[in-house]
């Protein structure tokens, strides 16, 4: 380790006195001006991680759906997954070390994680469109250079694009080419192959309006436009040329507010969707002829995809295990529909993509979505190999055609992480193939009225939860009060948990009618007092 370089560069990226930040569900998130030392040190950590696992590691500068003034950084592991939990702690230690302790902390991490500093290292960098992101990614590069290693700066990319690049690189191209062209070509080819088999695409069905949250999604969709087939005509709104990132628009705004984004003029029954600020989430919606807004969230996306995959799996007649993974925020009626009508097993895990991803890996086909629209589908190696083999060798036409569709789904889905662009193409393909309108999709089941609020409390860590965050263990008495309230209402459910990305407590409630959501007011009262 070049100690002189470490001293010199860390002095250029000083840690504000008294500031401690934690590597949470989505890495570090904070006001952008507090993050310079963090990103520099994450550059250091990315090199250590790369040396530890002898693979390329990704580092993404973004704060997703959070305000433009915020920023964040997270590391991407070799197959495009989130950073391994054992390293989250190292990230937090390195981020909070005083300057004079940096070398000691690096040495400790090297010892604990058996990092050989003489090994080669390689890091891929990406960033979103925030004004602060460019400078922060320069600081990442400073960190990388102090410990020495190769890097490739992809510049402006969506979060899922960076995950894809990392996976391609570490699988020697098996997953695809680690370039933007490689990504666009892979997705558009699979999409076109899929919709070749669709017979019903009226003129109206072709059009899709997309709110890009004034973020990176707009840039990347524009780049991808030449690759799009004429079967889909996309109209981009909130492209970042006029308004601020995530301001009154984007997937998070639409989901939380349950209303359309600003900047998108919506006519009755038009199919619309919103990406979030780094394009890893998507929600759909439309307005009916009476002017009512209908949200189609991650739960309904998971349901549509599950229906489609289940039908194909039945046709290929393999003993593949399929399941859906949700979190406590999944609407109760989505869970009921999946289990009782569709007869697909559903599992509930803690909030945060890494938990959903991990659980979904247990199945041949694991569909996972957070209600907020972050999700994807994972196929086991066994299932993927078998499906590709059936495409080549199966004599039965119906079976082979079904396998072909599954193969294209495998190629269209970004299996590394939720991806708004890829999910959008999956949804558009399924709607076209099944001849479904957005209203028919919406009518699969009716969401229970629900509310998600956040409240600021003195110390959110006093709330400890269990049972996939559906029950509060502490503070004493809180859960009992929620239980008593929930009992009063039909189909009612409510829970509180500390956020992993903001200094707030989130409160969720649902019940059979909106009026009965009065439960929400009362849960709020007990959480704050």
Residue range at the interface with ligand NG1 (CB under 6 A); choices 70-78, 360-368, 405-413, 494-502:
494-502
The smaller minimum CB distance to ligand NG1, of residues 500 and 518, is found at: 500
For residue 153, the cross-strand partners are 125
Residue 500 found at the interface with ligand NG1 (CB under 6 A): yes
Given a contact cutoff of 8 angstroms between Cβ atoms, the answer to whether 517 and 451 are in contact is: yes
What DSSP string describes 234-287? EEEE--SSSS-TTTT-SHHHHHHHTSPPTT----TT--EEEE-TTS--EEEEEE
The smaller minimum CB distance to ligand NG1, of residues 49 and 506, is found at: 506
| Least gap, CB of 225 to ligand NG1 (angstroms) | 27
Does the annotation flag 278 for ligand binding? yes
Residue 278 found at the interface with Zn ion (CB under 5 A): yes
Q: For every residue of 317-374, which 3-state class applies, written as one string?
A: CCCCCEEEEEECCCCHHHHHHHHHHCCCCEEEECCCHHHHHHHHCCCCEEEEECCCCC
Q: How far apart are CA 440 and CA 300, in angstroms?
A: 12
| Least gap, CB of 381 to ligand NG1 (angstroms) | 27
Does the annotation flag 8 for ligand binding? no
Residues 365-404: x/- map of binding to ligand NG1 (CB under 6 A)? -----x-x-x------------------------------
Does the annotation flag 501 for ligand binding? yes
Torsion of CA 273, 275, 276, 281, to 10 degrees: 100
Does the annotation flag 41 for ligand binding? no
Residues 74-113: x/- map of binding to Zn ion (CB under 5 A)? ----------------------------------------
Give first-to-last CA distance, the chain, whole Å. 51
Residues 412-451: x/- map of binding to ligand NG1 (CB under 6 A)? ----------------------------------------
For residue 37, the SS3 value is helix
Give Cα separations from 337 to 118, 125, 295, 346 (angstroms): 54, 41, 17, 10
Q: For every residue of 89-140, which 3-state class applies, written as one string?
A: HHHHHHHHCCHHHHHHHHHHHHHHCCCCCCCCCEEEEEECCCCCHHHHHHHH
Non-local CB neighbours of 393 within 8 Å, separated by 6+ positions: none
Does the annotation flag 64 for ligand binding? yes
Residue 502 found at the interface with ligand NG1 (CB under 6 A): yes
Does the annotation flag 506 for ligand binding? yes
Applying CB under 6 A, among 7, 22, 25, 263 the residue interacting with ligand NG1 is 25
Residue 174 CB neighbour total at 10 angstroms: 8
Does the annotation flag 449 for ligand binding? no
Respond yes or no: is residue 64 known to be catalytic: yes
Q: How far apart are CA 323 and CA 192, in angstroms?
A: 27
Does the annotation flag 280 for ligand binding? yes
| Least gap, CB of 466 to ligand NG1 (angstroms) | 16
Residue 278 found at the interface with ligand NG1 (CB under 6 A): no
Applying CB under 6 A, among 21, 26, 168, 213 the residue interacting with ligand NG1 is 26
The smaller minimum CB distance to ligand NG1, of residues 99 and 502, is found at: 502
Given a contact cutoff of 8 angstroms between Cβ atoms, the answer to whether 121 and 50 are in contact is: yes
Does the annotation flag 512 for ligand binding? no
Q: How far apart are CA 61 and CA 448, in angstroms?
A: 36
Q: How far apart are CA 509 and CA 522, in angstroms?
A: 10
The smaller minimum CB distance to ligand NG1, of residues 285 and 329, is found at: 329
Count Cβ neighbours within 10 Å for each residue of 440-457 and write b for 16 or more, e otherwise: ebbebbebbbbbbbeeeb
Which of 499, 503, 505 shows the shortest CA–CA distance to 31?
503
Residues 303-342: x/- map of binding to ligand NG1 (CB under 6 A)? --------------------------x-------------
Residue 276 found at the interface with Zn ion (CB under 5 A): yes
For residue 233, the SS3 value is strand
For residue 74, the cross-strand partners are 60
Residue 64 found at the interface with ligand NG1 (CB under 6 A): yes
Residue 501 found at the interface with ligand NG1 (CB under 6 A): yes
Applying CB under 6 A, among 499, 512, 518, 522 the residue interacting with ligand NG1 is 499
| Least gap, CB of 374 to ligand NG1 (angstroms) | 5
The smaller minimum CB distance to ligand NG1, of residues 22 and 201, is found at: 22
Q: How many residues bind ligand NG1 (CB under 6 A)?
A: 14
Q: How far apart are CA 515 and CA 449, in angstroms?
A: 9
Applying CB under 6 A, among 10, 205, 351, 492 the residue interacting with ligand NG1 is 351
Residue range at the interface with ligand NG1 (CB under 6 A); choices 103-111, 192-200, 210-218, 498-506:
498-506
Residue 28 found at the interface with ligand NG1 (CB under 6 A): no
The one of Zn ion, ligand NG1, none whose footprint includes residue 276, by CB under 5 to 8 A per kind, is: Zn ion
Q: How far apart are CA 324 and CA 306, in angstroms?
A: 8
Give Cα separations from 74 to 59, 71, 80, 137, 239 (angstroms): 6, 11, 12, 12, 24
For residue 19, the SS3 value is coil
Q: Which one of the listed residues 10, 50, 64, 139 is annotated catalytic?
A: 64
Does the annotation flag 269 for ligand binding? no
Q: How far apart are CA 124 and CA 167, in angstroms?
A: 11
Does the annotation flag 276 for ligand binding? yes
| Least gap, CB of 275 to ligand NG1 (angstroms) | 14
Does an H or E element contain 388, and which?
A: helix 381-393
Applying CB under 5 A, among 36, 70, 239, 280 the residue interacting with Zn ion is 280
Interacting residue ranges for ligand NG1, rule: CB under 6 A: 25-26, 64, 329, 351-352, 370, 372, 374, 499-502, 506
Interacting residue ranges for Zn ion, rule: CB under 5 A: 64, 276, 278, 280
Active-site positions read 64
Binding-site residues, in ranges, read 64, 276, 278, 280, 370-372, 497-501, 506
């Amino acid at each position: 380790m070049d100690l002189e370089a470490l001293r010199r560069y860390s002095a250029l990226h000083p840690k504000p006195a008294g500031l401690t930040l934690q590597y949470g569900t989505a890495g570090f998130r904070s006001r952008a001006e507090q993050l310079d030392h963090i990103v520099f040190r994450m550059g250091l950590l990315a090199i250590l991680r790369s040396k530890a696992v002898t693979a390329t590691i990704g580092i993404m500068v973004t704060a997703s759906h959070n305000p433009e003034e915020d920023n964040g950084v997270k590391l991407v592991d070799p197959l495009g997954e989130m950073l391994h939990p054992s390293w989250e702690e190292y990230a937090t230690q390195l981020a909070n070390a005083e300057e004079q302790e940096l070398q000691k902390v690096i040495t400790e991490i090297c010892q604990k994680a058996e990092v050989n500093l003489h090994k080669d290292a390689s890091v891929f960098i990406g960033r979103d469109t925030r004004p602060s992101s460019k400078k922060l990614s320069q600081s990442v590069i400073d960190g990388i250079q102090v410990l020495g290693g190769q890097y490739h700066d992809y510049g402006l990319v969506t979060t899922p694009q960076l995950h894809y690049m990392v996976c391609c690189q570490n699988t020697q191209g098996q997953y695809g080419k680690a370039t933007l062209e490689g990504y666009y070509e892979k997705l558009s080819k699979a999409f076109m192959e899929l919709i070749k088999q669709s017979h019903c695409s009226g003129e109206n069905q072709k059009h899709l309006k997309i709110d890009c949250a004034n973020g990176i999604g707009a840039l990347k969709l524009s780049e991808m436009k030449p690759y799009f087939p004429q079967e889909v005509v996309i109209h981009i709104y909130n492209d970042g040329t006029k308004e601020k990132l995530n301001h009154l628009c984007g997937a998070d705004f639409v989901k939380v507010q349950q209303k359309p984004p600003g900047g998108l003029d919506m006519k009755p029954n038009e199919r619309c969707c919103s990406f979030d600020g780094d394009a890893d989430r998507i929600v759909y919606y439309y307005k009916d002829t009476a002017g009512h807004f209908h949200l189609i969230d991650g739960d309904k996306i998971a349901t549509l995809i599950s229906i489609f995959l289940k039908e194909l799996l039945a046709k290929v007649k393999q003993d593949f295990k399929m399941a859906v993974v949700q979190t406590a925020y999944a609407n109760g009626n989505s869970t009921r529909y999946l289990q009782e009508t569709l007869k697909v097993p559903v599992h509930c895990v803690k909030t945060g993509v890494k938990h959903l991803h991990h659980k979904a890996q247990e199945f041949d086909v694991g569909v996972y979505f957070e209600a907020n629209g972050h999700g994807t589908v994972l196929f086991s190696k066994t299932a993927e190999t078998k499906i590709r083999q059936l495409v080549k060798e199966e004599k039965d036409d119906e079976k082979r055609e079904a396998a072909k569709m599954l193969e294209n789904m495998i190629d269209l889905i970004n299996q590394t992480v939720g991806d708004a662009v890829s999910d959008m193409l999956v949804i558009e393909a399924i709607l076209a193939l099944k001849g479904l309108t957005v209203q028919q999709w919406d009518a699969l089941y009716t969401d229970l009225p629900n509310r998600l609020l956040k409240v600021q409390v003195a110390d959110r860590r006093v709330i400890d939860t269990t049972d996939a965050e559906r029950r509060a263990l502490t503070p004493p008495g809180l859960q009992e009060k929620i239980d008593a309230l929930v009992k009063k209402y039909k189909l009612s459910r409510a829970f509180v948990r500390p956020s992993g990305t903001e200094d707030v407590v989130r409160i969720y409630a649902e019940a059979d009618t909106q009026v009965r959501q009065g439960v929400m007011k009362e849960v709020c009262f007990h959480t704050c007092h």
